[in-house]
């Protein structure tokens, strides 16, 4: 029996737990994240991101199939995938612009086969949504001539700790189920600064903490078009879910008249409604040679209900992703470039966010590649450039550039051998 050292196994497990504790959604910052749960991030790993985010209708043995768990059974190696991202946003409004850069850990995912070529499990942590915005507006206090400035700031987001299973039922028919525990706070702070009283300000802090389980069953099927060519079809579905939310509102004056004084003006607990989500994907692939695919996602955000019982003015959203991958010759001995994976893709999102009766859209182009390492492991890189929003009607347009980099470690763990 070949056994990996206890220290090495413990390193990866402890590393994954550390990610679960420390990972925060620090990417995808946008002023359009003030509605609902903020900007939702798709469960796409770096290799998916390089192809426009596709993955519902595709999967292979070298990378963890996290987007559609029904493809997990193809992962016959024990794998650990960890990544980080850096994103630069340029926000434009009429003739003014501001640039900001954010980044951090993206995810940590571990998978291993329970029954090779039949049943694979995975678990990990990844951001589910991100909230980061700052809005300034001039105000006049009602019933008086006092004028001032109101600053509205939001931050936070939800993380997801997920446990997934993928089973091959018969032939190329796969069934999957991902169970995710959502948790995390979203905080909005409103600060009022009155002219002539700049040394003192009033703050209203509204913090809501979310925590609950969500389920996403999935199915996939591969139809043979040739000896090594498949037409893959995949479907994922996240049913409408009631998510527990605890809200606390605090009103304070800074500096306060009495040191440390604050007024609790409200707190409570209730469920919010997270709308269902349906994803459908198709791809044509020749195993470890080429892949071309299309994904379509839709989510009825008009069914969303916040803590206040409203849908925050959001509308139904959809997303279309198209992408592909090419590996010239994965068995090449003489050419490292021939063993690399080259990826290209794009996406178009009609987001649920609405400002001035205008639904915000998001469009991006993606390029990616994988650098082979030993034991079928690889270093993965994805580049994304896109724009979100518009300058029409005084709105904000964002131009952003994102770099994601990760490492996929593959090896045969937990395999009993006849000889050492």
- Residues 325 and 373: their CA atoms lie apart, in Å, by 18
Structure-derived torsion over alpha carbons of residues 88, 132, 351, 306, reported in degrees to the nearest 10: 170
List the one residue out of 77, 42, 27 whose CA is nearest residue 216. Answer: 42
Is the Cβ–Cβ distance between 52 and 346 less than 8 Å?
yes
How many whole angstroms from its chain centre is CA 256? 40
Is the Cβ–Cβ distance between 252 and 263 less than 8 Å?
yes
Structure-derived torsion over alpha carbons of residues 386, 389, 395, 401, reported in degrees to the nearest 10: -20
6-130+156-186+213-241+274-411: CATH topology: Porin (2.40.160)
Question: What pLDDT is attached to residue 258?
Answer: 52
- Residues 27 and 83: their CA atoms lie apart, in Å, by 12
Residues whose CB falls within 8 Å of the CB of residue 168, separated by 6 or more in sequence, listed in order: 73, 117, 118, 119, 174
- Residues 311 and 36: their CA atoms lie apart, in Å, by 7
Strand partners, 407: 82, 379
Tell me the Cα Rg of the chain: 24
Is the Cβ–Cβ distance between 415 and 67 less than 8 Å?
no
Residues whose CB falls within 8 Å of the CB of residue 256, separated by 6 or more in sequence, listed in order: 262
List Cα–Cα distances, 94 to 56, 57, 88, 360, 398, in angstroms. 39, 41, 20, 17, 12
Give the H/E segment covering residue 242.
strand 241-254
Stretches in the chain below the pLDDT threshold 70: 1-29, 141-146, 195-200, 254-266, 413-420
Helix (H, G, I), strand (E, B) or coil at 88: strand
Residues whose CB falls within 8 Å of the CB of residue 19, separated by 6 or more in sequence, listed in order: 82, 105, 107, 108, 124, 125
Backbone angles phi, psi at 397, to 5 degrees: -110, 135
Paired tokens of 218: 């999935």
- What secondary structure letter does DSSP report for 36? T
- Residues 328 and 53: their CA atoms lie apart, in Å, by 22
Instruction: In the chain, count H helices and then E strands.
Output: 3, 19
Domain boundaries, the chain: 6-130+156-186+213-241+274-411
Is the Cβ–Cβ distance between 378 and 368 less than 8 Å?
no
- Residues 9 and 20: their CA atoms lie apart, in Å, by 17
- Residues 404 and 246: their CA atoms lie apart, in Å, by 33
Buried b (16+ CB within 10 A) or exposed e, 331-365: eeeeeeeebbbbbbbbbebbbbbbbeeeebebebe
For every residue of 110-174, DSSP letters joined together read EEEEEETTTEEEEEEEEE-EEEEEEEEEEEE-TTS--EEEEEEEEEE--EEEEEEEEEEEETTEE
């Amino acid at each position: 029996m070949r056994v990996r050292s206890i220290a090495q196994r413990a390193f990866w497990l402890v590393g994954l737990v550390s990610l679960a504790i420390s990972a925060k959604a620090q990417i995808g910052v946008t002023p359009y994240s003030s509605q609902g749960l903020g900007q939702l991030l798709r469960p796409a790993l770096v290799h998916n991101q390089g192809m426009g985010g596709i993955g519902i209708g595709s999967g292979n043995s070298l990378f963890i199939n996290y987007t559609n768990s029904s493809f997990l059974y193809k992962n016959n190696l024990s794998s650990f995938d960890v990544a980080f991202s850096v994103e630069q946003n340029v926000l434009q409004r009429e003739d003014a612009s501001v640039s900001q850069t954010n980044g951090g850990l993206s995810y940590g995912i571990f998978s291993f086969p329970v029954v090779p070529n039949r049943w694979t499990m995975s678990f990990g942590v990844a951001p589910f949504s991100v909230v980061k915005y700052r809005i300034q507006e001039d105000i006049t206090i009602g019933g008086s001539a006092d004028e001032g400035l109101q600053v509205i700031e939001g931050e936070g987001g939800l993380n997801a700790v997920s446990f997934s299973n993928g089973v091959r039922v018969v032939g190329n028919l796969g069934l999957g189920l991902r169970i995710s525990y959502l948790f995390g706070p979203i905080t909005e702070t409103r600060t009022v600064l009155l002219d002539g009283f700049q040394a003192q300000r009033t703050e209203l802090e509204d913090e809501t903490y979310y925590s609950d389980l969500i389920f996403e069953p999935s199915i996939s099927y591969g139809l043979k078009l040739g000896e090594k060519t498949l037409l893959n079809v995949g479907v994922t579905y996240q049913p409408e879910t009631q998510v527990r939310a605890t809200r606390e509102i605090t009103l304070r004056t800074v500096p306060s008249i009495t040191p440390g004084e604050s007024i609790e003006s409200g707190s409570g607990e209730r469920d919010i409604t997270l709308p269902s989500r349906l994803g459908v994907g198709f791809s044509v692939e020749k195993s470890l040679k080429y892949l071309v695919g299309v994904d379509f996602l839709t989510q009825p955000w008009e069914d969303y209900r916040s803590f206040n019982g409203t849908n925050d003015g959001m509308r139904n959203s959809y997303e279309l992703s198209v992408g592909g991958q090419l590996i010239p010759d994965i068995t090449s001995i003489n050419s490292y470039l021939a063993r690399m994976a080259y990826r290209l893709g794009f996406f178009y999102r009609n987001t649920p966010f609405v400002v001035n009766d205008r639904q915000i859209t998001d469009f991006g182009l993606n390029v990616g590649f994988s650098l082979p390492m030993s034991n079928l492991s690889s270093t993965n890189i994805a580049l994304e450039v896109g724009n979100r929003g518009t300058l029409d009607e005084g709105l904000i347009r964002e131009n952003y550039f994102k770099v994601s980099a990760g490492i996929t470690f593959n090896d045969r763990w937990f395999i009993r051998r006849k000889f050492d």
